[in-house]
Structures are given as structure tokens and as C-alpha cells.
Structure 1
């Protein structure tokens, strides 16, 4: 492969490495390839920031944001993106300039944008990173070891009506509530675009975190369903091997996004879920959620998201769906966990029986997680 000179290693050493590259061993980088026409999703690409647009900061591998300046060198992943509120983008390098399509570190070509979006930040591609054997480095090279599906850990899926419907808040709040109730919890972002917001949100809530970048995908848009399923199996099994008793899995975007639709229609992911929490922005979306899920033989155990922020909207949603409407504060509560989530559990974890009464359970009464009601609760399964 043809290599650039004199840019190669010096530029990579001073570059800002994005969140999507966080698993990469930087010592493996031995040069750059100028042959970018055959680049594929997940390939690492060194760019120079030419013009600041919508994304004014880069999320770094160290999980902090860095203000961007023209002239900065950045190491990103080539990737597709599906974001109705932002950009639709493709993982291609066709021109002298490409676009920063996601602040977590995804570059490509913007094909369409929401009308309110600024122009994307523009990048000059300098080359694909290559290793000592002149092979292009891809984040898939650093994926977690593939593991078979784990059937013992409880898995709760969090879906939403759309972007910005409150999925992340619902998922992390559920994780926090489960942690307070005495469970060992892991939060997983199974689909979406690489970024540390959801990852950090799980950890802030007390749950260990993993996401699809850990299984070698910068984004899951346009990825084969089999690859997403295999990644999901590995993430859940890895979480279980690290001690998780309950795994909260967030699925990105809305139910009509192509990968999410495929997951709900027929997939190992759908079949593995022990319960679904749905995030909706309003009562109409909540009704739509119940309707759409019913068509594929599923139903949520509760609805959360932005609709739960309004007492009036919550009352409307409850009336038209018959589903419990749970705010983030509700999801923090051990009492609510006992009522709505405990019956979904595959097994009663030992540490729940040993945990002290929850501070949000009144009058010091032992949490219902440890009561005969809990131990006798039947498993409510989706399938």
C-alpha cells in the first residue's frame, strides 16, 4: 500500500482519538494508506478538521469532550449514521473533504439532514491507519471475544418511539432502581451510533456499561442483523461473566428504524428479552407503541420516557394503553421494581435476599424483593 510521508505516525500521536476508537491499541499503528476508495465501516481514518460546523466538540476515547479547532488532527471511524433529528450518512470517502457525522467519532458522507441542522463539520481525510503488515486497522480487530448466548441472566429491553423520546433516561433509571434494590446490573447499548452519553449514563446510575463498540461496530446502521445478534449475545454473556444478574439493554432510535424493526419482528434479541420498557414522548406515541408491539406478539410491562414528565400526558397514556406509566423517580424505587420488574426475573439473585431494607420502602419494612410474595412470584415471560 502507498503510504503518506512525512505525516504518518507524528500526526497520529498528537491526534485526538475519538470514543469509537477507545479499544484500539495505538501502538499497532505503523503508517497511513492513501487508498481510501475501498474503505469500509469501522476502518480507522486520520483526518484534519477544516471547518467547524454542527459538531463543535469531539468525544474522546478518555470519555471527555474536547473542543475542536480548525487544523486539529483527529482519529475517527468511518461509519454510516441514521439519525432523523440529525444526519443520514454513508461510510464512504469519495471527495477531498468528508463530514463528521457523529460527535462520538464517526466520519462519512452526509446524505440528508434535519432542516434545523447546521452544516456538518468538514474534514480532510489524510489516510487510513495501517498496522505493521500494511493491513487497514478496523475497530472489529479489537472486539471482545465472541461468546455464546447466556440463558441465565435476566434481560430487560428498552425501546422508544423515536430519537429523543427518553430511552436513555428510562434505561439508566431502571438500572439505578435495580441497583438500589440489590441487584448486580449491567447496562448495554446494543444498537445505535458510537458515543459515550449512554455509556456514561449507565455508569452514573451504578450499572457497569458495555456497548456495540465493544463488539467491533462504530455504528449498527446497515449492519447485518446476524452481526448485531452475535454482538448482543457476546455483550450479554460478557456482562453475565462479570457478575451481572440483570442486564438492561437499550435499543436505539424508534421502532420503525430498519434494524430495530428487524429486531422486533424476528430475532434472537427479541426472543431473549424477559420484558420490555417503552419510552414515549406523548400519549399518542404510547398508544402507537402498544399497537406496534402487539402486532409482533409483544407488550411492554410499563411505559416511561418524556410522557411520564407530565401528569396530564401520563393520565392520557394510562387511559388509552392500560399500561403503567413510570417516571424516572418511579424507576428508581425498589417498590416499583418489586411490583413491575421482579416478576420478570429468571432467578432470584442471592444478593437481593441479603440486602438491607431499601430506604425508599416505608417504615423500615423489609423490601418486597425479600418477601414471600416475591419468592412465590411467577415468571411473566414475553414468549
Structure 2
């Protein structure tokens, strides 16, 4: 690969740093490496935007959106992506141009795309960032301190049938309702692709948030299950250390996605859940999702998501699953929390705020 010029650390000072890099100490940058064949997921890379495609904006570390222009310098993370509605991508640099595979700040090579997707925004890699010891900087270098699993806080998992099934709204609404019911609650996004939408949604609902970028993963796709489990343990334990009585944990994508299936089949995460709220886009997905959970000796206490937006679809889902269908407004209600969630709690009732 040919470099037109040699980048300097000063260029990073004026670059746009993406959300996935939000924990990185920017003053650690000392230089650059173009040893791209050794690059791995999570490595930090300075790129120049060459061509604007699908992603026309970058989500910044400051949790705002920035419009992209050709020639912009951006600091991103190399990463894999799994998104049936968008891109399948790999954390590799094997050409003079690579792809922006997620607006939260993930770069790599698009291997497949949904037919309705525009071509990806193209990036010219200028160099992998290197730190004070000459090492390539990786988001894992800036993780929260690892903590063992916390066995006392209540953990409610939110799973879904697919992308865009309403998981984020269900999770943040549940967290909001728990707060209104008097519980000290936190939100955790345990898997997925780094972006601030889920993070902000929890905090908009009054729940302080953490996600997998806090434990050193720009994305969790193709990460070993053991690393995802360790990240989950640290995120839940950190939330508990900060005072949470209940942690609402959103798991990305659908039940058949690689790491989601592994989590549900056999994992410390599965074993740690005190309850599951399932998000579905329609009645058939609600029934199918519940059957899949039942096959794994699991089950949900209620259905939410897009299906709850339609009275007719909600009635169908309630009939075929026998479960309550809870809209976001239902989940905001302390009465709903008392009926459907309080029985799952690990904490004694006297610890709940009046």
C-alpha cells in the first residue's frame, strides 16, 4: 500500500474521534504503523474519508453526530460487523481503501451487504496509531478494571427476534419504569457494534449506561465467548459498585446470531439472568422466539418491541404465546414493574426506596 504522505500525531489532534474510541487517552499517540497485515480488531486507525457512501455521518466520542466530508481525518477502530439489515464485515486492511462499516466508528472490509444498502463510505488508511512504547494502540488498553461476577444485583436480559425488533426501546423503557418504581437501576449493552444510540437511550430514560466499548471491544462479533462473558461480568459488577440494585442488559441482534445463540445455549450470562424480556416485530416472531427460548429451557416473562405498537398484532401475540404484551408505556408504569418484574428481584423488598 502506498502512502501519499507520512501522518503526524498532530493530525490526530484535529481529527474526528469516533464513539468507539471514547475511552482512549488521545495524548498517548506517538506515531503510526503501516504493518497492516498484523492489525486486529480494536486497533485504532487514522483514516481519510475518500468517498461518501452509506454512512454520511460519524458518531463522535462526545456523543454527537458529525457530518462527514471527503478529506476529513477520522480516528476509528478496526472491527468485524454482523448486521443482516446492513453489512457483514471483517476486521482486515487488505487494500488501499477500506470501508466504514458502522457509523459509531468501525472500519474494515465489507464482505456482504443487504440489497437495499448503498455502497459503504470509503476510507484511506493513513496508519495504525502507536503509543508511548511503540505498540499499536487498541481500545482494550483502555478498558474498565476487570471485576469478578457480582451475585447480588438483579439482572434482567432483553433479547430480540432480530435487528430492529424494538430491543433498545424495550430495554430503556424497562429501565425507566424500574427507576420510577423506586429501584436504583443501570443499563448495560453487552453485545453488538459500538454506537451511542443504545447508550444514550438508557441515559435518556434515567439509567446510567455502560457498554462493551467500556470493556475494550469496538464490536463483539467474532469475539470469543469467554471474552464477552468476562466483559459482562465486569459491566454488571461495575454497575453494582456504582449503586445499582437492578441491571437491565440488552443483547444485540436476534436469537440466531452467532454470539447471541452461544449466550443463550450455554454461558455464564445465561445462567446469571433473573428474567428475560423478549422483543419481537410481530406475532409470529413472538411465538417463534418464545419457542426457541423454551427449547433452551428458558422463557420470557413478557413480550415487548414493535409488536406492542399494534393492538391487533399485540392481541395475536398474546393469544399464541400466552404472555403479557407490554408496550413502552406499560413498561414505564410502576404497577407493571410490581406485577411482572418485582417477583424476579434478588434484593429484599425493604431495600427498595419508598
Give yes or no for the alignment of 1:343 onto 2:343.
Answer: yes
> Cα gap change, 1:275/1:210 in structure 2, threshold over 3 Å: closer, same or farther?
same
State the Cα deviation string for residues 356-379 of structure 1 (Å, max 9, x = none). xxxxxxxxxxxxxxxxxxxxxxxx
State the shift of 1:36 in Å. Answer: 1.1
Report 1:93-242 matches (<5 A): 93-242=93-242
d(CA) in 1 for partners of 2:287, 2:39: 43
Give yes or no for the alignment of 1:320 onto 2:320.
Answer: yes
State the Cα deviation string for residues 269-328 of structure 1 (Å, max 9, x = none). 000000000000000000001100000000100000000001110110000000100000
Q: Given the two structures, how large is their TM-score scaled by the length of structure 2?
A: 0.98
Extract unaligned runs of 5+ from structure 1: 356-383
* Contact 2:7/2:127, CA 8 A, preserved across alignment: no
**Total equivalences in the alignment:** 352
Secondary structure of 1:277 counterpart:
strand
Structure 2 match to 1:379: none
State the shift of 1:351 in Å. Answer: 5.5
Structure 2 match to 1:362: none
* Contact 1:4/1:33, CA 8 A, preserved across alignment: no
Extract unaligned runs of 5+ from structure 2: none
Report 1:1-383 matches (<5 A): 6-348=6-348, 350=350, 352=352, 354-355=353-354
d(CA) in 1 for partners of 2:146, 2:13: 30
Q: Given the two structures, how large is their TM-score scaled by the length of structure 1?
A: 0.91
* Contact 1:245/1:349, CA 8 A, preserved across alignment: no
State the Cα deviation string for residues 2-35 of structure 1 (Å, max 9, x = none). x996422121111000000000001110011111
- When Rg is computed on C-alpha atoms for both structures, the one with the higher figure is 1
Secondary structure of 2:155 counterpart:
strand
Secondary structure of 2:343 counterpart:
helix
> Cα gap change, 1:57/1:48 in structure 2, threshold over 3 Å: closer, same or farther?
same
d(CA) in 2 for partners of 1:131, 1:75: 14
Secondary structure of 1:122 counterpart:
strand
